[in-house]
Amino acid sequence: MTDKARPSSEITEELRDWSDNRRDDSADALLKLVYTELHRQAHRYLQKERVGHTLQTTALVNEAYLKLVEQKSVAWESRSHFYAIAATMMRRILIDYAKTKHRIRRGGIHSDLPLENALTIRVSETDFDLLALDEALNRLAAKEAQLAKVVELRFFSGLDVVETAKVLGLSESTIKRDWRMAKAWLRRELTRS
């Protein structure tokens, strides 16, 4: 959170002013931010080589958000809306990566993949299947959308509890509760199959 000085209400107001047109541009800009952010996270993650298990992240924080705002090309209705979209995008991107990875690991279509590249992809960092998780998350969203949103923000965009609470405008304890519930439910879904 680099720009704490700027109250979020003001941002939202500014947003409204600028939201008259250029939806397409803001989409591109957002995508770019999302990618940049993912790259940064990935990079940082690898740098640390898992010293401590969490990824210190300020994913898609105000810095990125404000950049968008400065471009005066934002049509996003509000800040939380913005984060929600970004988080969903990150989820999709990551899942897409995971799909590719799956395919490679299984030696499927990509038989023409050069060996050394195939080898650089290490075994799974997590002990579960991301793709299965993705599907389970969809089911969870049908039960309670907010839980899924929390998972997207926490797990897929790498926000911590405090950040997630801010983004969603909820209390930290609510987020903690949601997170705990979602984890238990998803975990069970994954072990069931």
Partner 1 sequence: MADEKWQKVREIFDSALRHKPDERRRFVNEVCGDDKTLLAEVESLLSSHDSAESFMETPAVAEVAHMIEIKIKKLEAGKRFGYYEIINQIGVGGMGEVYLARDKKLDRKVAIKILNEEFNEDQSHLQRFVSEAKAASALNHPNILTIYEFGEAEDARFIVSEYIEGKTLREIIRESKLTLPQILDISIQITGALSAAHKAHLVHRDIKPENIMIRPDGYVKVLDFGLAKLVEQKNKSILSLEEPTVRQNLTAKGVIVGTVNYMSPEQAKGERVDERTDIFSLGVLVYEMLAGKPPFDGGNAIETMGSILNKEPVPLSRLTPEVPHEVERIINKALRKDREQRYQTAKDLLIDLTGVRQDLEFQNKLERTATPDRKEAKTQVFNPTTSDITPHPTSSAEYIINSIKHHKRLAVLGLVSLLIASIALSFFVFNRSPVLTEKDTILLADFVNTTGDATFDGSTLKQALAVQLRQTPFLHLFPEEGVRETLRYMGQPEDEHITPQVGREICRRRGLKALLVGTIASLGRDYAITLEALNGQTGETIASQQIQAEGKEQVLKALGQAALELRKQLGESLSTLQKYDAPIEQATTSSLEALNLYSKGLELQYRGDAKGALPLLNRAVELDPNFAEAYLWLSWTYVNLGDNGKAGDFAAKAYSLRDRVTELEKLHIDEIYHLFTTGDFEKQKEADELIKRLYPNDSLAPASLGYGYLRIGQLEQALTEFREAIRTNPNESHYYGNVSDILIRLNRFDEARETIKQAQTRNLGHPGYRRFLYLIGLAQGDATEVQRQLEAIRKIDGERRALTAEAGASVFSGRWRKAQELYHRAAQLSGTPSPSGTNAILPVAATIAGALFGFCQPATNDVRQALTISRLNSPVQILYVPVLADGSLCGDADEAQKLADEQLRRYPNATLLNVYSEPIVRAATALQRNRADQAIEFLNAAIPYEGGFAAFWPDYLRGQAYLRLRRGDEAAAEFQKILDHRGWDPASPMYPLAHLGRARALSLAGDLTGSRKSYQDFFALWKDADSDLPVLIDARKQYEQLK
Instruction: Name the one range near partner 1 by CB under 8 A: 7-15, 60-68, 151-159, 162-170.
Output: 151-159
Please, which residue, 5 or 109, has the CB nearer to partner 1?
Answer: 109
Question: Is 190:128 a contact under the CB 8 Å cutoff?
Answer: yes
Instruction: Name the one range near partner 1 by CB under 8 A: 2-10, 62-70, 136-144, 162-170.
Output: 136-144
Is residue 31 part of the contact set for partner 1 (CB under 8 A)?
yes
Instruction: Name the one range near partner 1 by CB under 8 A: 9-17, 63-71, 112-120, 163-171.
Output: 112-120
Is residue 46 part of the contact set for partner 1 (CB under 8 A)?
yes
Phi/psi at 4 (nearest 5 deg)? -75, -20
Q: Cα separations (Å) of 113 from 9, 98, 102, 123, 127?
A: 50, 16, 13, 17, 25
Burial class from Cβ neighbours inside 10 Å (0-12, 13-18, 19+) for residue 175 reads buried
Map residues 47-86 to x or -, x wherever contact with partner 1 holds by CB under 8 A.
---x--xxx-x-----------------------x--xx-
Please, which residue, 6 or 103, has the CB nearer to partner 1?
Answer: 103
> Computed over its alpha carbons, how large is the radius of gyration of the chain?
18
